[in-house]
Chain A
Amino acid sequence: MRRFIIKRLMQSGLLIFLVLTITFFLLHFAPGDPMAKYYNRTGISPETVEMMRVKFGLDKPVGEQYIKWVASFIRGDFGFSIHYNRPVRDIIFEAIPNTLRLTIAALLLYIVIGISLGIFSAVKKDTLFDKVNTVIALFLYSIPSFWLSLMLIFLFSLKLGILPSSHMQSIGMQGAGWFELLCDRARHLVMPAFVLGVASAAGMARYMRGSMLDVLREDYIRTARAKGLENKSVILKHAFRNAAIPVVTIIGLSIPFLLGGAVVVEKIFSWPGMGRLAVDAIYARDYPIVLAVNFVVGVMVILGNLMADIGYALLDPRITVTERSEG
């Protein structure tokens, strides 16, 4: 197990480096200029802009910039933000917990809702509940998240006024007690987490339903019933454990989609996370920030997949991770 994890992390390190390299060159070859916003501005002379260009090393050929970037990246230095004029590391570390809060909330929401609806649908197959569930799942799965976000803001913030439309907490909460603060933050989290998780929850419910139906047809389910177990134990113990095996892989694979979705959701709800940071940085051609965000997202995706693989091996005794890594 340990050997597998180490080997996997080393492979992943190489992969992330390649991804960042491609991102680096794509960014530099894309049209646009980090200094563009300073041109033709009163009070900033062309000489000053040129000086800044030299300061950030943007006057050097791309190849040289790349080598410089690699050298500092290996040392763990993400450089200096061109746009915010602050160390990238500080900016990123402010954004990571916010994105994690949003994506983990969405992940939990989608796992809990998706799995329970899926199991119910399978057990109540072909009933009205199952059919309504199928239609709703398909509907939610097909809705674009930006549209859903706007509709929710329209309904819950503008019309009903019960949920805040943006940011992580209300203004003026600094002096509030921890419980008030918690409630306030939870209220802010509801809509973005729902939008981010709901499509995945719908997909998960469909997937879980199928997996459960397959398992319920198995002979060992009949054996469990023949033992005298009640239906609840048969479903939640014998069937669920087996049906969850393929679903764990799906959860691992969904992490990139959640982080991708977070870009849209964070932008709409003005959530100060990495998604919004990345979008703003791309517009500003703030190369160091874009690369750092890519790095962090890459690490999260790889860790998510690694956890899915480990979970897979824990759930299914027929699979051992060492076998999978070597064969």
Chain B
Amino acid sequence: MLLKVNNLETIFRMARGEVRAVDRISFNIKSGKTLGLVGESGCGKSVTALSIMRLVPDPPGKIAGGSIELEGNDILKLPEKEMRKIRGNEISIVFQEPLSSLNPVFSCGEQVREAIVLHQHLGRKDSKTEAIEMLRRVRIPDPETRYKNYPHQMSGGMRQRVMIAMALSCQPKLLIADEPTTALDVSVQAQIIELLQDLREELGMSILLITHDLAVIAQMADTVVVMYAGKIVEKAPAGKLFSDPSHPYTQGLLASMPGYSIPGKSLPVIPGSVPDPVKLPPGCRFSDRCGKRIEKCFNEEPPLFNLGDSHFSRCWLHNKEEN
């Protein structure tokens, strides 16, 4: 097992009160596999990513509990100096918005080279050669020339390729891709996904793919984790999740995908909105919006029920003892 996240809890101390952005979540990622993390904005997906990198802005954020084991070592217990050797080297991240994520005053090649110098201790010339090679790997045409280009001189898709080159320059064991295609044109999205898939095969790395785009998940993920209001509501192998979604929230998400709905009819939507993170309901966090809720849903929070075949769901409907 490459990564084991166990009962991770990340809180934000806000003026209005404490927000539990990530509430005791657990999942594992196997070597060479892709885990898809799905959910709507504000459900805690990105905070999970930043927690794994230990880059949660503190204050106001703080990792309050749990463990994150990378090949058996709890990285939450590492001193900051050791953690820096992991960032960009063993775990890398690609962010959503490539333009704002690249430093505007340094050339793209220079930014890729910086990570190589930092972790591989190569000299000026070798690191440059290596950086150009990385740019070629992410299929940037004419990488020698592009090396000198600044972020503003590139298109969105090219910039995201630079971000990927930077993240993969030290051949990390785990790549966290936080909404890597959200800011891109649809035609470019497909290219980036294809690139990520190919690089995963080539480098044998694992990917934590964070997105709200279920089509991307369907294409890439081996396992899927669905988050809602800071909690995992469903966890299943990708095929299983799409063929047999068990949580009403997942069912709602899938039903609202254009490909899954009945042609000619308007797309179904999940009514209502995410609960206020400071004032969460005492029972199931989805109860207010759920079409299948029962009395119990309002009062008691459901545990994650094991449905067999690595399929888990946080819904009282799966409570075999009562049903």
Chain A residues with CB under 8 Å of chain B are 218-220, 222-230, 238, 241-242, 245, 315-318
Contacts and interface: CB of A to CB of B under 8 A. Distances in A.
Nearest to B57: A222
B93 interface: yes
Given A219-B95, A219-B97, A317-B152, A226 B103 contact: no
Contacts of A229: 84, 88, 114, 118
B166 to A, nearest CB: 7
A228 B163 CA distance: 14
Contacts of A241: 103, 105-106
Contacts of B95: 219, 222-223, 226
A241 B97 CA distance: 21
10 contacts: A222-B95, A223-B95, A223-B163, A226-B92, A228-B84, A228-B87, A238-B106, A241-B106, A242-B104, A315-B105
Contacts of A227: 87-88, 114-115, 118, 166
Interface in B100-119: 100-107, 114-115, 118-119
Contacts of B107: 317
A223 B104 contact: no
Contact of B88 (A219, A226, A245, A317): A226
B305 interface: no
Interface string B124-168: 000000000000000000000000001010000000000100100
Given A227-B118, A229-B114, A318 B150 contact: yes
B5 interface: no
B86 interface: yes
User: Which 6 pairs across A and B sit closest by C-beta, in order of nearness?
Assistant: A228-B88, A228-B87, A227-B88, A219-B100, A220-B103, A317-B150
Q: Which of B88, B103, B106, B107 has the most CB of A within 10 A?
A: B103
B85 interface: yes
B104 A318 contact: yes
B105 A316 contact: yes
Contacts of B152: 317-318
Nearest to B176: A226
Contacts of B103: 220, 223-224, 238, 241-242
B105 A226 contact: no
Contacts of A317: 104-105, 107, 150, 152
Nearest to B83: A228
B17 to A, nearest CB: 21
A220 B95 CA distance: 10
Q: Which residue of B53, B89, B105 has the most chain A CB atoms within 10 A of its CB atom?
A: B105
Interface string B41-64: 000000000000101000000000
Given A220-B103, A315-B105, A317-B152, 13 more contacts: A219-B97, A220-B102, A222-B95, A222-B101, A223-B163, A227-B166, A228-B85, A228-B88, A228-B118, A229-B88, A241-B103, A316-B104, A316-B105
A94 B97 CA distance: 58
A220 B101 CA distance: 4
Interface centre among A218, A220, A230, A316 (most CB of B within 10 A): A220
A130 to B, nearest CB: 15
A186 to B, nearest CB: 36
Nearest to B163: A223
Contacts of A228: 84-89, 115, 118-119
B313 to A, nearest CB: 33
A310 to B, nearest CB: 16
A245 B53 CA distance: 30
A245 B104 CA distance: 11
A126 B85 CA distance: 30
Nearest to A126: B59
